[in-house]
């Protein structure tokens, strides 16, 4: 067997695999001998079928099968031995004139080669890492929410601005009939809340769904309508009041502190505020880090320039999926996925250059920490090492879980790399301002 490669350019090559008779003949002969022993052909005893008849009936199919196996095996080994970094899979060139009655065969494969490039982490323009802080207003609002959650429910005769109003939304045409509880701070504008002030049990309030709630997802939950139906819904609904309550705020005392954080861990309002700030900012840190990860990713894609074997990849996409694509469909799909392809190559380069590969012990430790954290949420504070290792072993036997955790670990390693090596500036921002700026 002989394998040669012709480099068309830096991104494309053609590999030729020549297979001679001696490469496959012994294996084909052995398989046919085995066929002869087990073949059931009318007129012949088992094991006594003439070899010529066996070859005539099965020879071509066995030959094709064995040559294809040889071909795939040889091509795979060649790519590894030559350390060729290919994109997609080798594409066999069409051979309409292939003669399977010949003794020697030659096959050609197109290769799309990964580009050579360097990644510069120090961008000219600094990328902002947002440090999301819990400001005094947010902390005070959180304390009020806690007081409401642990406070007493007091029945009211009429609606005030702080009431919890239970009732039923109805609309006959859209078959809406849903009981729910609402508060006036969730309603949009000034007109809608005013309709409720002073209302009593049994009163019916007529409302327009367009612009009813600050958040359209609240409308979806209040009316129990599908997500797509809630967006842009413009109808009138009736809300029949069945119950009016107000939350009497819980006292900020030691009993409440112990309920929230455990006995004696928080002993004053000052400590409560500090604890809320600490816990909130821990959660916010994940959002700030994710924004940084996204922004660095975009910067790397924009500033790391290299060509791709676009024609080869489009051709490969035509047959790579479950259903074949037309040339036009493949071109469209390539344009959609080119950005993610580029980042995969950049990410792979960074992982290789900075030794960010995930080792098994790291994966095991990560799984055990995750399990320990989850168990703590259910009151199991001190699981044994053996218990943690047994659960981790079960998780790591699931390839989907291994893939998911490996991706999380790689993201964390890349994030740490960016924080130390990229051109990063830090900016404090309140949570409300962060949401308004990037998610509104």
Closest by CA position to 317, among listed 304, 327, 307, 306 = 327
Distance of CA 278 to the CA centre of its chain: 28
Residues of the chain above pLDDT 70, percent: 100
**What residue segments make up the domains of the chain, in order of their start?**
2-113, 152-248, 281-439
Q: Which residue has 């031995």 as its token pair?
A: 81
Kindly calculate the radius of gyration of the chain based on its CA atoms and give it in whole angstroms. Answer: 34
Q: Over range 52-69, report the average pLDDT.
A: 88
Most confident of 212-221, 281-290, 431-440: 281-290
Phi first, then psi: give them for residue 20, nearest 5 degrees.
-100, 165
Closest by CA position to 169, among listed 232, 233, 228 = 233
User: Whole-prediction pTM value?
Assistant: 0.75
Distance of CA 120 to the CA centre of its chain: 26
Task: Calculate helix-pair angle for 399-421, 360-377, nearest 10 degrees.
Answer: 100
Distance CA 367, CA 375 (A): 12
The class level of CATH for 281-439 reads mainly alpha
Which residues are 181's β-sheet partners? Answer: 166
State residue 191's pLDDT score. 93
Has residue 440 got a pLDDT over 70?
no
- Angle 363-365-369 from CA coordinates, rounded to 5°: 115
Architecture of the 152-248 domain: Roll (3.10)
| DSSP per position, 78-101 | HHHHTT--EEEEEEEPP-TT--TT
In Å, what is the CA distance from 18 to each residue of 81, 109, 286, 412? 17, 12, 55, 47
Q: Over range 69-88, report the average pLDDT.
A: 94
Contact 86, 111 (CB under 8 A): yes
Contact 119, 300 (CB under 8 A): yes
Q: Over range 397-419, report the average pLDDT.
A: 95
Summarised one tens digit per residue, pLDDT across range 191-218 is 999 999 999 999 999 999 999 998 888 9
Summarised one tens digit per residue, pLDDT across range 134-152 is 999 999 999 999 999 999 9
Summarised one tens digit per residue, pLDDT across range 296-311 is 999 999 999 999 999 9
- What residues contact 320, with CB distance under 8 A and at least 6 apart? 88, 89
Phi first, then psi: give them for residue 399, nearest 5 degrees.
-65, -35
Q: What is the mean pLDDT of the chain?
A: 92
Contact 196, 186 (CB under 8 A): no
Phi first, then psi: give them for residue 241, nearest 5 degrees.
-75, 125
In Å, what is the CA distance from 427 to each residue of 8, 127, 128, 131? 49, 10, 7, 6
Q: Is 2-113 a CATH 3.40.50.720 domain? A: no
Q: Over range 235-250, report the average pLDDT.
A: 95
Summarised one tens digit per residue, pLDDT across range 97-132 is 888 889 899 999 999 999 999 999 998 999 999 999
Distance CA 360, CA 402 (A): 10
Distance CA 304, CA 385 (A): 45
Distance CA 270, CA 33 (A): 88
- What residues contact 372, with CB distance under 8 A and at least 6 apart? 383, 388
Closest by CA position to 120, among listed 301, 295, 308 = 301
């Amino acid at each position: 067997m002989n394998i040669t490669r012709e480099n068309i350019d830096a991104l494309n090559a053609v590999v030729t695999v020549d297979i001679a008779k001696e490469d496959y003949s012994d294996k084909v002969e052995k398989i046919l001998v085995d066929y002869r022993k087990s073949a059931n052909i009318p007129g012949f005893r088992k094991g006594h079928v003439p070899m010529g008849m066996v070859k005539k009936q099965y020879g071509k199919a066995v030959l094709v099968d064995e040559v294809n196996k040889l071909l795939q095996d040889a091509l795979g080994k060649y790519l590894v031995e030559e350390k060729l970094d290919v994109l997609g899979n080798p594409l066999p060139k069409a051979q309409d004139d292939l003669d399977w009655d010949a003794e020697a065969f030659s096959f050609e494969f197109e290769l799309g080669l990964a580009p050579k490039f360097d990644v510069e982490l120090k961008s000219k323009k600094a990328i902002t890492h947002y440090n999301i802080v819990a400001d005094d207003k947010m902390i005070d609002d959180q304390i009020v929410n806690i007081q409401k959650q642990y406070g007493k429910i007091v029945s009211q005769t009429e609606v005030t601005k702080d009431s919890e109003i239970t009732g039923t939304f109805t609309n006959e045409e859209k078959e809406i009939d849903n009981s729910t509880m609402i508060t006036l701070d969730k309603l949009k504008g000034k007109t809608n809340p005013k309709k409720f002030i002073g209302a009593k049990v049994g009163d019916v309030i007529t409302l327009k769904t367009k612009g009813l709630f600050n958040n359209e997802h609240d409308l979806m939950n209040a009316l129990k309508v599908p997500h797509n139906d809630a967006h842009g819904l413009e109808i009138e609904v009736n809300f029949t009041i069945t119950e009016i309550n107000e939350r009497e705020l819980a006292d900020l005392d030691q009993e409440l502190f112990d309920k929230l954080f455990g006995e004696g861990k928080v002993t004053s309002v000052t400590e409560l505020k500090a604890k809320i700030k600490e816990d909130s900012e821990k959660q916010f840190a994940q959002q700030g880090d994710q924004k940084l990860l996204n922004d660095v990713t975009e910067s790397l894609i924009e500033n790391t320039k290299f060509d791709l074997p676009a024609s080869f990849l489009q051709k490969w996409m035509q047959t790579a999926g479950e259903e074949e694509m037309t040339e036009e469909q493949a071109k469209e799909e390539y344009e959609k996925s080119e950005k993610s392809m580029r980042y995969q190559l950049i990410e792979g380069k960074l992982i290789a250059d900075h030794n960010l590969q995930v080792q098994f012990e790291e994966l095991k430790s990560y799984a055990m920490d995750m399990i320990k954290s989850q168990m703590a949420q259910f009151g199991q504070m001190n699981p044994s090492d053996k218990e943690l290792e047994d659960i981790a072993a079960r998780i790591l036997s699931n390839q989907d879980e291994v893939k998911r955790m490996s991706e999380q670990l790689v993201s964390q390693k890349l994030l740490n790399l960016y924080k130390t090596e990229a051109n990063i500036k830090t900016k404090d921002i309140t949570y409300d301002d962060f949401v308004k700026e990037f998610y509104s």
